[in-house]
Structure 1
Amino acid sequence: MYKHGLVFGKFYPFHKGHQHLIRTAMEQSDHVTVVVCSLASERIPGELRHAWVNQSVREMGTEEEFKSKNTTVNVVHLSKTVPQEPSEHPDFWQIWTDLLEDYLEENDAPYDALFTSEDYGFPMAEHLGCQHVLVDKERSTFPISGTACREELYVHSNAKNPHFTKGFKQYVELETKPAEAYDHRIVIVGSESCGKSTMTHNLAKALNGVAVDEYGRTYTDEFTIESLADFYVLLQTQLHDFLYTPKPEGKNSILISDTDAIVTQTFADLYFPLREKEFDLISDKHIRAYKEYADLYILLKPTVKWVDDGTREHEAYREFAHGRIKSLLEKYEIPFVEIEDTDYDVRTSTALEAVRDLMKKV
């Protein structure tokens, strides 16, 4: 067993072979540092790849094997422009040694194992002064590569490769797959504890439609919000559910979605007001996708009583969040109906009237 394992790479994109490499490091180490390296010229943003790796590690960490031995993992993002090959700089190995050792925190043990699936791991480990653990160099466990993944995306528009991770599969589908066919899509937005979930299910029941729950509620039932990486996962999964939730037999062709990218961005503003621009670029792209597919937005004012359900934290932020959401709807020129009545039944009736008016016009 190693005290401190190291895994680094581009994860361009993050596939199940990479997942297997990290799992192996976690199985054989008390603590693991995973460094996600990216360049600005790469088509899949490094911040998104970092988020996929981070979420995969958090999910693996809930497995009994890793909980019982208290394995800890730190996933970091290296976005500096640095030499990619020894031929690019005479001090290539020292540059990379210094970069990787910079991620050693104050109380960390030094790296004693470098886990890779490539021969470059041998000289890199020698410069780091640690053991090289070569994992599945022949790709026999997961016959996949980053190059093959990119070809599936950019040449074949294929999201069906079984060796794609969940995050990358969602990404490929969002880039290439047509949305599920619905006659109408309705989006419910608002600040915390304004009745979005209740409204979503009330409308779905009244209209015999399909409800798409807020993924953030599902996510925070299992994980705490620790970094901006969490919000990349929330953005991507919520949009994926909005576009690709299938219509069950017997349901009408109307989808009601609790939350969108505007709400997710508004809470990212609260948690991480200082952040990289890539998040806002992806958020902008997602907001425009909602605008393209949504037929109606319903904005709920926070006029109902605050309900502390154990996950909500920002009662004092409700009015500000409402104003922020409304200003973004106006900025993107998204038509919406604003509901402010304090009675839940009246709110539902008003929303139903707005939806039925929409359906009459089509």
Structure 2
Amino acid sequence: MKRHGHGLVLGKFYPPHAGHHHLVRTALDRCERLTVLVCAASVESVPLADRVAWMREAHPGARVVGTVDDIPMDLNDSAVWDAHMAVFAAAVPEPIDAVFSSETYGAELARRFGARSVLVDPGRTLFPVSGTAVRADPAGCWDYLEPPVKAALTRRVVVLGAESTGTTTLALALAEHYRRRGGTWARTGYVAEYGREYSEAKLAALRGRWPGARWEDVSFTTDDFPRIAETQNAREEAAARVGSPVLICDTDSFATTVWHERYVGGRNPLVEKTADRVTHHLWLLTGHEGVAFEDDGLRDGEELRPWMTERFRAELTRTGRTFVEITGSRQERLDAAVAAVDGLLATGWHFTDPLPERR
């Protein structure tokens, strides 16, 4: 039997973690209906809309609403409390029967709502994590995060290059390198090139009508490339939700813009728009020099490799993407790629500090 009518859980969720979710699930179990109020300050670097979306996904049984609260907290100042309560009441005007919290201020918050205070795991013994800890070390707190938060924080690394320049070999080796680190890193994901799968399907379909068809008989239209880009993005997103703090991608939707030039000519704004919808953090451009061309049945552009390498380099530069050119032997390429990715991870995640709080 539910013990309370309308319950409230209030917090920054900057970002949400397992302790927050335990609090909400406990409240859902004890209330006829539950409102989760997400309060974000303008100075914070995770948008309010993202936090609301993450909490709604994790807790479909709750009503999740958001508000901007730019008032610094002082637990000993009644006027400051009044100002906060005005913000809270505007966001949740309905009567509250119970306030669920893990914080010391939970009792006062409940009193001001005219509600019962319910403390849930105030010692953080079930989930020893906090928003401060996550912001300081997301990788160290990775297992306390839900899939959409992981996807948002995952550092996405793209290996791209001209035909037969070792992109897949390097991407697979790079993913395996991080998996061998163990722990959270053992789940490092690898996202294959969907364009290749798409090409194989086109060739198979053509051979179904014409058994003697070869790769040079396959034709592409501009409409093929938005589909390739969208699917590549979707597969990356799915992998980022279940992987480690780094995701290795064998090409990406940005690379699809250059492949469009290669097979159709010119640009396709839909592909470029799709590429800009996803945040990647580092591109590794594999050079063609010193790499033998291997015709695997889906390649016919050995003479185009220098042009494609230059197009990738020029577009990466023009669009301001961070990239490293990878050359040398197979081991030298892997060593350079690992150094570049380790450098990316060493820069951290750079959350801005929340508003100061006086206790």
Give TM-score, length-normalised by structure 1: 0.50
Specify the code of the residue in structure 2 equivalent to 1:122: A
Change (3 A) 1:118 1:326: closer
Larger Rg computed on CA atoms? 2
The one-character-per-residue Cα deviations of 1:164-184 (angstroms, maximum 9, x if unpaired) are 22222223323xx64478827
Pair 1:116 & 2:104 matched: no
Provide the secondary structure at the position in 2 that maps to 1:50. Answer: helix
* 1:293-312 mapped onto 2 (5 Å cutoff): 296=258, 298=260
* 1:249-288 mapped onto 2 (5 Å cutoff): none
Change (3 A) 1:113 1:121: same
Specify the code of the residue in structure 1 equivalent to 2:270: I
> 1:237 maps to what in 2?
237
Aligned-partner Cα distance in 1 for 2:229–2:140: 22
Specify the code of the residue in structure 2 equivalent to 1:123: E
Equivalent residue for 2:66, pick from 54, 74, 77: 77
Change (3 A) 1:122 1:325: same
How many residues end up aligned between the 2 structures? 227
Equivalent residue for 2:31, pick from 19, 29, 32: 29
Equivalent residue for 1:9, pick from 8, 11, 21: 11
> 1:167 maps to what in 2?
148
Aligned-partner Cα distance in 1 for 2:96–2:145: 29
Report deviation, 1:94.
2.2
Aligned-partner Cα distance in 2 for 1:162–1:125: 31
Aligned-partner Cα distance in 2 for 1:20–1:204: 46
Change (3 A) 1:180 1:33: farther
Report deviation, 1:296.
3.3
Change (3 A) 1:355 1:39: farther
Change (3 A) 1:327 1:212: closer
Aligned-partner Cα distance in 2 for 1:216–1:326: 11
Specify the code of the residue in structure 2 equivalent to 1:129: G
Change (3 A) 1:43 1:170: same
Identity of aligned residues (%): 25
Provide the secondary structure at the position in 2 that maps to 1:101. Answer: helix
> 2:163 maps to what in 1?
none
Structure ranking higher on relative contact order (CA contacts 8 Å, 6+ apart): 2
Specify the code of the residue in structure 2 equivalent to 1:103: A
Aligned-partner Cα distance in 2 for 1:43–1:325: 29
Change (3 A) 1:127 1:239: same
Provide the secondary structure at the position in 2 that maps to 1:98. Answer: helix
Provide the secondary structure at the position in 1 that maps to 2:144. Answer: coil
CA RMSD of aligned residues (A): 4.5
Change (3 A) 1:214 1:7: farther
Provide the secondary structure at the position in 1 that maps to 2:42. Answer: coil
Change (3 A) 1:179 1:326: closer
Unaligned runs of 5+ in 2: 161-165, 169-193, 205-227, 262-267, 278-296, 310-359
Provide the secondary structure at the position in 2 that maps to 1:296. Answer: helix
* 1:35-74 mapped onto 2 (5 Å cutoff): 35-58=37-60, 61=61, 73-74=62-63
Contact kept? 1:214, 1:238, Cα under 8 Å: no
